[in-house]
Chains A and B, each alone.
Chain A
């Protein structure tokens, strides 16, 4: 059987118990919370009968394992409960906001990886030169800067004082744009948040690429490549970079989770209509089910993306396909 198919199958098999554990952890957290969910819904002064009726309705009077099974079966079917404040199911709320977050996260990842690799490669080719020190400086700045503060600074400088970019949101409200104009409008709104979110990862990827490239460039097969008469560009990109990219790929998988966390902060700063902002609003308004639903959702997404990264890594590096 095709080794890649085998790899995918095996990783998926390994992931299923992990997904279950994630759901279980969420259940444990929900149940460990001090206080009774019905109090959250009804307030402290509701009468006893009503509280009992609510508890029966939510199944809170059933034994714990029954509640657990109900919970797990609901989550597996995609039912994450109902929002306390908006009259929508949690799942539909999340799915409505999800695309905006995906847009933000993937753009940031794209920027970070592309620029990071370019900078890292350039820095590794000429160690200790100006470009190397510049890249190292950028990487230290990127890694140390708090994401949300950087977003705020970008907002202040570029949107408020220079007026080059919009201050909030994903689209210009009431503008009724379509087609290309709409796309450009979104891009215009996306620029600052994506840059802020990308900063940390740009720094990390630059440093990682540089270190990895330095290691690869010191190996014998590079000398062979040069002595074969291949030009510099081919050797750098086709031979060296291919091998140097492996740690970057691993990091990309890890960073996906961090990007979601960062997205929560950035979406708050820029009022970006994504899942992160939904989380912030729900936290503030104490919309309990939404908060926990988002947690489950993000955990599942991250677990799935880890599987994907493992598979991609297996494709890139045949040595680890065991």
Chain B
């Protein structure tokens, strides 16, 4: 008779378990739903728009929403609706990639710093302190301004200014976990530091980082929008921030130029925030259920 500790559950069962608990927070479910919808919109962009976003003069300029142009047109006759939909792609990719890169760097730095301590920790923490004291947005602004406004530059810059907070978070978790018995056990068994860091401690330390990352996506999207709004974004790429920049001169006569891109921005960020809250609730058994 074989007896095996079943410590690996089928992926499907895990998803179901996750969902049952996540579902308790209704707002988080709504957030997830909205976010998925936005992702679908981004992917389906070419199929649900009938004008090219960059093509000027497809309609009379500055007309308010009509059937043919659901969101109206802007000052150059571009269809606002197509622009908004195609910008979804930009924002989502910037947000997700920037957050992913910054999380990876942050995990790496935080793990090394938390596990080894000593001089490495000191040096790395000094570095993060510099980044954390300078205002993130302004630092990103300067870097993009000086080094160029291409979209890849922007993604890279956002990642650079965002990784320190992830690193700090993970380092704190590592410091807590480092003294626990299971780490000592792993060390006794002869695990290498790399194995201990990434196979033993990391799976337990990762939870706050997951929550933080979902909020990082929202921040990255907002940062890109802010940069584009100030004119230091990529001018060749459709972006909500760029649309809002354009709309600024026409607020009096064309409210739709500002309203719709902003609503999409708002919905994206709100859904991500709700998801982040939901994940937070999921990972911390709170006393909310009183």
Interface residues of A (CB under 8 A from B): 18, 21-22, 25, 29-30, 32-34, 127, 140-141, 143-150, 152-153, 155-156, 160, 218, 257-258, 260-261, 264-265, 268-269, 279-280, 283-284, 291-292, 295, 298-299, 302-303, 306
Contact = CB atoms under 8 A, between A and B. Distances in A.
Tell me whether chain A's interface is mostly helix, strand or loop, or mixed: helix
A141 to B, nearest CB: 7
Instruction: Give me the 6 closest cross-chain CB pairs, A-B, nearest first.
Output: A149-B262, A261-B137, A144-B270, A257-B135, A144-B269, A33-B146
B222 interface: yes
B218 interface: yes
A148 B226 contact: yes
B145 A298 contact: no
Contact of B145 (A127, A291, A306): A291
Interface string B104-139: 000000000000000000000000011001111111
Contacts of A260: 135, 138
B252 interface: yes
> In terms of DSSP, what is the predominant structure of the interface of chain B?
helix
Interface residues of B, number: 45
B230 A18 contact: no
B231 A141 contact: no
Contacts of A32: 146-147
Interface string B191-205: 000000000000000
Contacts of B230: 264-265, 268, 280, 283
B96 interface: no
A144 B225 CA distance: 13
Contact of A156 (B146, B147, B258): B258
Nearest to B247: A152
Interface in B136-192: 136-139, 141-143, 145-148
B273 interface: yes
B244 A295 contact: no
Contacts of B266: 144-146, 149
A298 B135 contact: yes
A140 B136 contact: no
Given A25-B134, A140-B277, A218-B287, 9 more contacts: A149-B262, A152-B262, A261-B226, A264-B138, A268-B230, A283-B232, A292-B142, A299-B135, A303-B133
A218 to B, nearest CB: 8
B137 A258 contact: yes
Nearest to B225: A146
A258 B244 contact: no
Interface string B212-253: 000000100010011001111000000000001001100110
Nearest to A19: B133
A17 B202 CA distance: 34
Report which residue of A25, A148, A303 has the largest number of chain B beta carbons within 10 angstroms of its beta carbon: A148
B244 A284 contact: no
A150 B244 CA distance: 11
Contacts of B248: 152, 268-269
B270 A148 contact: no
Nearest to A280: B230
B218 A302 contact: no
B98 interface: no
A128 to B, nearest CB: 9
A209 B31 CA distance: 23
Contact of A306 (B133, B218, B232, B244): B133
B27 interface: yes
A34 B145 CA distance: 11
B135 A152 contact: no
B273 A299 contact: no
A158 to B, nearest CB: 12
A145 B133 CA distance: 24
B244 A152 contact: yes
Contacts of A258: 135-137
29 contacts: A18-B130, A25-B134, A30-B146, A33-B146, A33-B147, A34-B148, A144-B270, A146-B226, A148-B229, A149-B258, A149-B261, A150-B262, A152-B247, A152-B251, A153-B259, A156-B251, A156-B258, A257-B135, A257-B136, A261-B135, A261-B136, A264-B138, A264-B141, A264-B230, A265-B226, A269-B248, A280-B231, A295-B138, A299-B135
Nearest to B140: A261
A140 B137 contact: no
A268 B227 CA distance: 12
B211 interface: no
B255 A146 contact: no
B38 interface: no
Which among B229, B269, B270 has the greatest number of chain A C-beta atoms within 10 A?
A: B229
Nearest to B271: A144
A18 B129 contact: yes
Given A149-B258, A153-B258, A295 B270 contact: no
Nearest to A211: B286
B265 A146 contact: yes
A25 B262 CA distance: 34
Contacts of A269: 248
